Structure 1
Amino acid sequence: MNMDTDIRGGGWHPYKPTEIPAPGETLRETLESLDMSQSKLAARTGLTLKHINQIIQGNAAISPETSLALERVTGVDADFWNSLEARFQDHRVREKEAARLGKHEEFLERMPLSALRKLGYVKSDKRKPGALLQEALAFFGVGSIEAWEKSWNTPAAAFLQSTAFDADSGAVAAWLRLGELQAKEIDCAPFDRAVLRRILPELRALTVKQPKEFFPELVALCATAGVCVVLVPEVTGARASGASRFISPSKALIQLSNRGKRNDKFWFALFHELGHLLLHGKKSSSSSSQRRQSMFLLPKQKPMNLHLPCSYQSNTTIRFA
Structure 2
Amino acid sequence: MSIAACLDDVPHPGEFVREEIEAREWSQRDLAYILGVPEQAVGLILSGKRGISPEMAKALGKAFDVSADYFANLQQAFEMSNARAPDPAVERRARLQSAYPIREMIKRGWLTDTNIGLLEQQVMRFFCRNDLDAVPHLAHAAKKADYRETSPVQLAWLFRVRQIAAEMPTVGYSASKLRAMVADLPRYMRDPEEIRHIPRLLSECGVRFVIVETLPKANIDGACFWLDNKSPVVGMTVRHDRIDNFWFVLRHELEHVLNGDGRGELDGGQVDVDLEASGSRDDLPPAEKRANDAAQDACVPADEMESFYIRKYPYIAEKDVVGFAGRVGRHPGIVVGQLQRRMNRYDWLARHKVKIRQFLIGASVVDGWGSVAPASL
Q: Tell me the TM-score range normalised by the shorter chain.
A: 0.5 to 0.7
Equivalent in 133, 136, 144 of residue 131 of structure 2: 144
Residues in 2 aligned to 1:101 and 1:225: alpha-carbon distance in whole angstroms:
48
Residues in 2 aligned to 1:195 and 1:278: alpha-carbon distance in whole angstroms:
11
Q: Match of 1:64?
A: none
Cα deviation, residue 280, structure 1: 3.7
Q: Match of 1:124?
A: 113
Equivalent in 257, 265, 273 of residue 245 of structure 2: 265
Q: Match of 1:187?
A: 169
Q: Match of 2:199?
A: 219
Q: Match of 1:277?
A: 257
- Amino acid paired to 1:209: D
Tell me the SS of whatever aligns to 2:308: coil
How many pairs does the alignment contain? 212
Cα deviation, residue 131, structure 1: 3.6
**CA 1:181–1:316: 2 relative to 1, 3 Å:** farther
Residues in 2 aligned to 1:290 and 1:206: alpha-carbon distance in whole angstroms:
20
Residues in 1 aligned to 2:236 and 2:292: alpha-carbon distance in whole angstroms:
15
Tell me the SS of whatever aligns to 2:109: coil
Is contact 2:166–2:227 with CA below 8 Å preserved after alignment? no
Tell me the SS of whatever aligns to 1:242: strand
Q: State whether structure 2 residue 302 is matched by structure 1 residue 315.
A: no
CA RMSD of the aligned region, Å?
A: 3.2
Bigger Rg, which one: 2
Q: State whether structure 2 residue 226 is matched by structure 1 residue 239.
A: no
Equivalent in 243, 248, 255 of residue 228 of structure 2: 248
Tell me the SS of whatever aligns to 1:109: helix
Which consecutive unaligned segments of at least 5 residues does structure 1 have? Answer: 1-98
Tell me the SS of whatever aligns to 2:189: helix
Is contact 2:97–2:103 with CA below 8 Å preserved after alignment? no
Q: Match of 1:290?
A: 292
Cα deviation, residue 304, structure 1: 7.0
Residue by residue over 1:31-51, the C-alpha shift from the partner in whole angstroms, topping out at 9 and shown as x without a partner, is xxxxxxxxxxxxxxxxxxxxx
Residues in 2 aligned to 1:184 and 1:270: alpha-carbon distance in whole angstroms:
20
**CA 1:237–1:207: 2 relative to 1, 3 Å:** same
- Amino acid paired to 1:186: M
Is contact 1:122–1:136 with CA below 8 Å preserved after alignment? yes
Tell me the SS of whatever aligns to 1:248: coil
Is contact 1:123–1:132 with CA below 8 Å preserved after alignment? yes
Tell me the SS of whatever aligns to 2:234: strand
Tell me the SS of whatever aligns to 2:188: helix
Identity %: 20
In the TM superposition, what are the counterparts of 1:1-321 in structure 2 within 5 Å? 103=92, 105-124=94-113, 128-148=115-135, 150=136, 154-163=137-146, 169-211=151-193, 213-215=194-196, 217-281=197-261, 282=263, 284-285=269-270, 286-288=287-289, 289-298=291-300, 307-308=307-308, 310=312, 311-312=317-318, 315-316=322-323, 318-319=325-326, 320=328, 321=330
Residues in 2 aligned to 1:100 and 1:147: alpha-carbon distance in whole angstroms:
21
Cα deviation, residue 239, structure 1: 0.8
Cα deviation, residue 253, structure 1: 0.5
TM-score where L is the length of structure 2: 0.49
Q: Match of 2:22?
A: none
- Amino acid paired to 1:290: N
Cα deviation, residue 299, structure 1: 5.7
Residues in 1 aligned to 2:247 and 2:139: alpha-carbon distance in whole angstroms:
23
TM-score where L is the length of structure 1: 0.57
Residues in 1 aligned to 2:245 and 2:304: alpha-carbon distance in whole angstroms:
26
Which consecutive unaligned segments of at least 5 residues does structure 2 have? Answer: 1-87, 271-286, 331-377
Cα deviation, residue 203, structure 1: 2.0
Is contact 1:242–1:254 with CA below 8 Å preserved after alignment? yes
Is contact 1:102–1:130 with CA below 8 Å preserved after alignment? no
- Amino acid paired to 1:238: A
Is contact 2:111–2:119 with CA below 8 Å preserved after alignment? yes
Residue by residue over 1:19-71, the C-alpha shift from the partner in whole angstroms, topping out at 9 and shown as x without a partner, is xxxxxxxxxxxxxxxxxxxxxxxxxxxxxxxxxxxxxxxxxxxxxxxxxxxxx
Cα deviation, residue 177, structure 1: 1.8
Tell me the SS of whatever aligns to 2:227: strand
Residues in 2 aligned to 1:100 and 1:144: alpha-carbon distance in whole angstroms:
17
- Amino acid paired to 2:155: A
- Amino acid paired to 2:253: E
